[in-house]
C-alpha cells in the first residue's frame, strides 16, 4: 500500500498541517485527519509509514471509548457516512484515519504523566536528581519505576521545536491554579486507568502526554490519546531497568537515523523500505495488544 502523506479535501478550509495530522474546519466542528507522515528528532521525514494514520486513529478511538467514564472527550463521530455530505467524496482519504471533533479552547500545555524514569526525565535526574523540579530518591536507573506517577507539564511548541518541561508552579501561572489542579488530577487519573489496562495486555505505559481543551461544558480530552506517537509502551516481560527498553514506537526509525549520522537538520532523509515495514509492524502489534483486535489496512 502507498503512504498518504498529504490530504486534499477540495474547498474544505484547511487550518493547518502538523507533523502528522491535517486539520480542517467543518462548520462548527473540526476534522482531524491522521496522515502516514512520521517525524523524528522534531523533523518530518521524507517517507511515511503506510497505514500509520489509520493505526493511530483506531488506537485513539479505542482509548477515548475506554476512558469516557474518566473524562469527556472531543469526539463527535469517526464514521465517514455521518460526516457532512460534501466530505463523502473524499472517503478514500478519510476512512479509518479521521475524526470529526468538537472545537475547544486548548490549554497551552502538554500534560505529561510519567510512571517510569526515561527520556528527558532521566537526563534531568542524572544531572540534578529531579524530574521537572520534583526531587526523586537516589539510586534510580534509566527505566526505573517511579515511587508514584508524576504530572510533569510542558509548554507546547508553536514552531515545531521541542517542547520545554515546566514546573507545576509555572503551569499555575500560565493557566490559573484551578485549571492546573484539574489538569493534574485528570492526567494522573487517565494514566492510572490506562496503565492498568496496559499491564493486563502485557505492556508497561512508561509515560504519555495528553492535550485538554475547555468548552462551555467544561474540560475535555482532545487531540490523539495513548498512541505510540505520544506514549512509551514497553514489553512488560522484557522490562529491566538500566538502559533502553523493548518498546512499541518509532525506535527503529530513530536507530536508523542515528546509524547514518544524520545531523538532525532539514532536509530530513527518507527511510529504507525495511525500516518502514518494521516500524509499521510495531504499530500494528501495539494496536493488537492494546485492543485485542486485528486491523486490516
For 169-208, the pLDDT digits (tens) are: 999 999 999 999 999 999 999 999 999 999 999 999 999 9
Which 8-state DSSP code applies to residue 28? Answer: T
Please tell me the CATH superfamily of domain 1-103, with its number.
Phosphorylase Kinase; domain 1 (3.30.200.20)
Is 63's pLDDT higher than 80? yes
pLDDT of residue 252: 80
Cell representation of residue 110? 502538554
CA distance 15 to 30: 9
As a CATH number, domain 105-238 is 3.30.470.20
- Do 210 and 187 meet the contact criterion of CB atoms below 8 Å apart? yes
Stretch 7-26: mean pLDDT: 97
* Virtual torsion, Cα 228, 101, 160, 109, nearest 10 deg: -90
The residue extents of the domains of the chain are 1-103, 105-238
Maximum alpha-carbon separation in the chain = 59
Surface-to-core class of residue 276, CB atoms within 10 Å of its CB (0-12 exposed, 13-18 middle, 19+ buried): buried
Query: pLDDT at position 161, please?
Result: 55
What pLDDT is stored for residue 280 in this prediction? 94
Segment 257-266, tens digit of pLDDT:
999 999 999 9
Is residue 55 a contact partner of residue 284, using CB atoms and an 8 Å limit? yes
Half-sphere exposure of 138 (CA within 13 A, CB side): 0
pLDDT at 120: 87
* Cα 44 from chain centroid (whole Å): 15
Cβ count near 223 (within 10 Å):
21
Per-residue pLDDT tens digits for 100-131: 999 999 999 999 999 999 988 999 999 999 99
- Among the residue ranges 57-71, 182-196, 236-250, the one predicted with the least confidence is 236-250
Reported as half-sphere exposure (CB side, CA atoms, 13 A), residue 221 has a value of 27
Q: For position 239, what pLDDT does the model report?
A: 97
Question: In this predicted structure, what is the pLDDT of residue 132?
Answer: 85
Confidence of residue 133 (pLDDT cuts 50, 70, 90): confident
Query: What distance in Å separates the CA atoms of residue 101 and residue 214, rounded to the nearest whole number?
Result: 13
Verdict on whether the full-model pTM lies above 0.85: yes
How many Å apart are CA 130 and CA 288, to the nearest integer? 35
Amino acid at each position: 500500500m502507498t503512504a498518504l502523506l498529504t490530504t486534499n479535501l477540495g474547498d474544505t478550509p484547511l487550518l493547518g498541517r502538523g507533523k502528522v495530522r491535517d486539520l480542517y474546519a467543518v462548520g462548527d466542528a473540526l476534522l482531524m485527519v491522521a496522515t502516514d507522515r512520521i517525524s523524528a528528532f522534531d523533523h518530518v521525514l521524507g517517507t511515511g509509514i503506510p497505514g500509520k494514520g489509520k493505526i493511530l486513529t483506531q488506537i485513539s478511538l479505542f482509548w477515548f471509548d475506554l476512558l469516557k467514564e474518566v473524562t469527556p472527550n472531543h469526539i463527535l463521530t469517526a464514521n465517514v457516512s455521518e460526516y457532512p455530505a460534501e466530505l463523502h467524496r473524499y472517503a478514500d482519504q478519510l476512512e479509518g484515519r479521521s475524526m470529526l471533533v468538537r472545537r475547544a479552547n486548548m490549554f497551552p500545555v502538554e500534560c505529561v504523566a510519567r510512571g517510569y524514569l526515561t527520556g528527558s526525565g532521566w537526563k534531568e535526574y542524572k544531572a540534578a536528581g529531579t524530574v521537572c523540579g520534583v526531587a526523586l530518591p537516589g539510586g534510580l536507573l534509566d527505566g526505573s519505576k517511579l515511587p508514584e506517577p508524576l504530572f510533569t507539564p510542558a509548554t507546547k511548541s508553536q514552531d515545531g521545536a521541542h517542547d520545554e518541561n515546566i514546573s507545576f508552579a509555572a503551569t499555575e501561572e500560565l493557566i490559573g491554579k484551578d485549571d492546573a489542579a484539574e489538569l493534574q488530577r485528570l492526567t494522573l487519573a487517565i494514566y492510572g486507568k490506562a496503565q492498568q489496562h496496559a499491564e493486563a495486555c502485557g505492556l508497561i505505559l512508561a509515560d504519555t502526554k495528553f492535550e485538554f481543551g475547555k468548552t462551555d461544558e467544561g474540560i475535555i480530552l482532545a487531540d490523539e490519546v495513548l498512541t505510540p506517537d505520544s506514549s512509551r509502551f514497553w514489553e512488560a516481560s522484557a522490562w529491566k531497568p538500566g538502559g533502553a527498553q523493548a518498546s512499541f514506537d518509532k525506535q527503529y526509525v530513530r536507530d536508523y537515523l542515528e546509524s547514518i549520522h544524520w545531523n538532525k537538520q532539514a532536509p530530513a532523509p527518507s527511510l529504507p523500505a525495511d525500516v518502514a515495514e518494521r516500524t509499521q509492524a510495531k504499530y500494528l502489534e501495539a494496536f493488537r495488544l492494546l485492543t485485542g483486535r486485528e486491523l486490516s489496512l
